[in-house]
Structure 1
Amino acid sequence: MALKPAKQPERVRVNQREADLMVAAHEWFVARKPGGRRLVLRFAIMEDVDLSGRDLADVDLTGSTLVRCKFDRARLARACLFGADLQGSSFVGASLIRADLRGARLKGANLSLANLTQADLRAGRIAISDEDTKFAVLRHKVAAGQLDGANVSGAVLDRSRLDDVSAAAADFSECSMRGAKLVGANLKNASLRGAMIDNVDVRGANLESADFSDAVVTRVDLTQARTMGAVMDRCLCDPSADATARGAVIFARLAAHREWVTTGGKSGEPAVLDGEDLRPMGSLAGAFLTAVSARNACLAGMNLGRISLQGAQLDGADLRGVNLREADLRGANFSGANLGQADLRRAMLSSLPFKADREKITALEQANLRFADLREADLGETDLAQADLHGAKRTALVPTVVDTAQDDDDDDDSFVIDM
């Protein structure tokens, strides 16, 4: 039986005024206010429209043409952009947490500083049933996600799906790719300078002539990818065998330090960990390391949440991508330390009082805080002289609507960006 040709989806053209009205109704829907209506606009044409800063969580824009649109700082958590044409559009600082971007075309798009945690950018195919036969489908090739030439610098791509994505010559510099999947992806000539690439699956990926200079590349099997011509200058890889072997010695020092702190110096001794690679220790979350000396030490990517580091000496330390959420860092010395992409949400960085009329200021002069998350951090009188805060996030004065159902790890509260 011959199938009838599938009917093409109706293409509705939407201008700026119409878009504003529909989005306003959607924002009422998100806020659970009477009269709100979820925005479902499939296969529409909406070009050169500015929706910056709007709340578009859970919108359905399947197959829509959205070229050259502005979504800067917009909230697009769980948005369905399946098969959408987003070429040349801007998503600077936008939240695309768990967004469905399968088969989306993002060639030349600007996704810098966007949060794409658990976003799905795999290949996708849109099938349209015919009204009469219910069997005929729109015939076209399976479309791979397209990020060729896109700017994704400083973005968060943790646990995202980029299988088979085409991202030739894309800029992923200083982005976070922890737990991402790049199976069969094409990143030829892409820039991954300074990126956090941890536990990433690159089987069958094309990484030829990609630039990994100054990146953190750990728990990644590059033998499963094509890497001819790839630049790996100053790359921080997995801890060496010697560093791993020293784990027992460092553990003993940390135990003695904890005893020294908890007994007020009556027993134990302060730890000196200058120049050590502490990554083999795994997580140090909640540890008592007050006044520890870890100058020029390597702690990149470690979990240091809620750690006590009052008065610690961490000048020159490598703290890229560390979790320092809710940590007590009062009076610590981070001069010249590398805290790029570090999570410092709700961290205490104010002065540390140690005498009746004296206090020690937390030092961050000349530190690298590029793309760090400083939302709700207590900076107090912190010395930030000559610190690099490019792309760092800070809490905005007026928060946006927050979905209380989402995980704390995927927090996308309103923020301002240091540029």
Structure 2
Amino acid sequence: MASRTQKTERVVIRQAEADRLMAAHARFVARRPGGRRMVQRFAVMEGVDLSNQDLSDIDLTGSSLIGCKFDYSRLTRACLFGVDLQSSSLVGASLTQADLRGARLKGANLSHANLTQADLRAGRIAISDEDTRFSVLRHKVEAGQLDGANVTGAVLDRSRLDDVSAAAADFSECSMRGTKLVGANLKNASLRGAMIDDVDVTGANLDSVDLTGAVLTRVDLSAARTRDLILKGCLCDPTPEASQRAALLFVKLASHREWVATGGKSGEPAILDGEDLRPIAGLAGAFLTAVSARRACLAGVDLGRAALQGAILEGADLRGASLRKADLRGANLAGANLGQADLREALLGPLTLKGDREKPMRLDRASLRFADLRDTALEGIDLDEADLHGARRDAPVSLAPETPPVDATEPDDSFEVDS
């Protein structure tokens, strides 16, 4: 914390000055001459547009950023400790590993943002004495504030939201995997359609939280307040019966693999229609060519690099599933739910058969809401009536490749944090 009395005036930064600072920071990120890291602590930079920029590793500790726009900007590892981002817009922004402890995000728009491993815990914030205008600093513990914020479709995997205040916030269709919500206040929040797995809600206030249609697995609700919790249509952990069928289904898949490897000479094709396949481990890279799994439950399952050519997955539940680098040529995914699924670098399109015939791939009537489709081509696929709302495609702007963390050389004695 502050170890000496400081005479500090809050610097006011308007758009023209912000543009100059961002240009210098862009050169810094690109390691070009004249570059300078953007470090503006306790500044007043309200209503400024910082959209579509690579702002990785910036330091805006304690700054007032009310009404600012950071839409689709990269804020990887940004130090936003104790900032005031009320009513700001961070649509589609990347805030991976960002330090947002003690930040105020009341009424902010974080829809589609990526907050993987972001830290929104409480922090001890240096604030001014109203009479002396920052001549004297005092400290108070400030919880992260997301009350009324729009966080729809955001990625909050492995983020820290301990003790955060997020009353009436909208987390609809967001991804929370390994997220910490210890002591958080989510009263009246909406988590409709959210992907919630392995989340710690010890001491959290979940009164009147709406989890309609959400995936809720490996979460101990007995450790939280849950008065009037809405669980309509919520997909929970596999039933004991489904877990008991796992051994039988594994045998079927082994026979299916033999059928594929021998060109149908031995083994037999697997019919897994309507099965809950979540209890089966080791499906990443599996040989599932032409498997039939209509209306099967594969929510959250890792199918990365799996061979799914010609697979019949019509109406299957693949919410939050990993299909990264999977081969889905000729697959039938009509009416399937692929919300929040990872399809990066997946091989899609028609499957070439003998005699120059082609088996088309179907995604008609499928839900791809907030799915990750980066580096994935959708040309030549039946997408009739498919829902692509919030799906991530190519970046709206051309940003530099991710840069390694920088070493902050400036002394950091003007504030302290809660560990």
Pair in the same fold by TM > 0.5: yes
Tell me the amino acid that sits aligned with residue 299 of structure 1. Answer: L
Please list the CA deviations of residues 310-352 of structure 1 after superposition, one character each: whole Å capped at 9, or x if unmatched: 0000000000000000000000000000000000000011110
Whole-angstrom CA distance in 2 between matches of 1:343 and 1:260: 28
Question: 2:131 matched to which residue of 1?
Answer: none
Matches of 1:115 and 1:181 in 2, distance apart? 16
Distance 2:13 2:182 in 1: 37
Alignment correspondent of 2:330: 331
1:65: which partner in 2?
64
State the distance in 2 between where 1:184 and 1:374 align.
Answer: 34
For the pair 1:207 / 2:206, whether they are aligned, the reply is yes
For 2:92 and 2:320, locate their aligned partners in 1 and report how far apart those are by CA, in whole Å.
Answer: 18
- Gaps of at least 5 residues in structure 1 are 130-135, 407-419
Residue matched to 1:132: none
CA contact (8 A) 2:196 2:217 kept: yes
Instruction: Provide the C-alpha distance between the structure 1 equivalents of 2:397 and 2:258, rounded to a whole number of angstroms.
Output: 44
AA aligned opposite 1:322: A
Match of 2:258 in 1: 259
Give the match's secondary structure for 2:18: helix
Cα distance, 1:231 vs structure 2: 0.3
* 1:18 corresponding residue in structure 2: 17
In the alignment, which residue of structure 2 is the partner of 1:388? 387
RMSD, matched Cα? 1.8
Cross-structure match for 2:289 = 290
Output aligned runs, 1:35-54, within 5 Å. Answer: 35-54=34-53
CA contact (8 A) 2:53 2:399 kept: no
One-letter code of the match for 1:194?
Answer: G
Quick check: 72-81 or 379-388, which moved more? 379-388
Moved more, 81-90 or 374-383: 374-383
Which blocks of at least 5 consecutive residues in structure 2 are unaligned?
129-134, 406-419
What residue number does 2:347 align with? Answer: 348
- Give, as a single letter, the amino acid of the residue that structure 2 aligns with 1:351: P
1:403 match: 402
Kindly provide the CA deviation profile for residues 245-295 of structure 1, in whole angstroms up to 9, marking residues without a partner as x.
001000000000000001111111000000000000134100000000000
Equivalence map 1:8-407=2 (5 Å): 9-127=8-126, 138-396=137-395, 399-403=398-402, 405=404
Is the 2:299–2:318 contact (alpha carbons within 8 Å) kept by the matching residues of 1?
Answer: yes
Structure 1 residues 329 and 199 mapped into 2: Cα distance closer, same or farther (>3 Å)?
A: same
Q: Quote the Cα distance in structure 2 between the aligned partners of 1:99 and 1:138.
A: 25
Q: Which amino acid aligns with 1:56?
A: L
Give the residue type in structure 2 aligned to 1:65: S
Task: List 4+ stretches of structure 1 deviating above 3 A.
Answer: 3-9, 396-399
Letter in 1 for 2:153: G
Q: Cα–Cα, structure 1 residues 9 and 204, in superposed 2: closer, same or farther, change >3 Å?
A: farther
Show the counterpart of 1:133: none
Q: SS in structure 1 opposite 2:118?
A: coil
* Contact 1:127/1:137 (<8 A) preserved: no
Q: Is the Cα–Cα contact under 8 Å of residues 186 and 206 in structure 2 kept in the other structure?
A: yes
Question: Normalising to structure 1: TM-score of the pair?
Answer: 0.92
Q: Quote how far apart the aligned CAs of 1:4 are.
A: 10
Match of 2:415 in 1: none
Give the deviation of 1:147 after TM superposition.
0.1
CA deviations on 1:126-149 (whole Å, 9 max, x unpaired) are: 3589xxxxxx98323200000000
Find the counterpart in structure 2 of residue 409 from structure 1.
none
TM-score (normalised: structure 2): 0.92
Higher relative contact order structure (alpha carbons within 8 Å, sequence separation ≥ 6): 2
Contact 1:49 1:69 in 2 (8 A): yes
Identity rate of aligned residues, in percent? 71
| 2:247 alignment partner AA | A
> What is the number of residues matched between the two proteins?
398
CA–CA distance in 2 between the matches of 1:75 and 1:162? 21
Q: Which residue of 2 aligns with 1:410?
A: none
Indicate conservation of the 8 Å contact 2:7/2:136, yes or no.
Answer: no
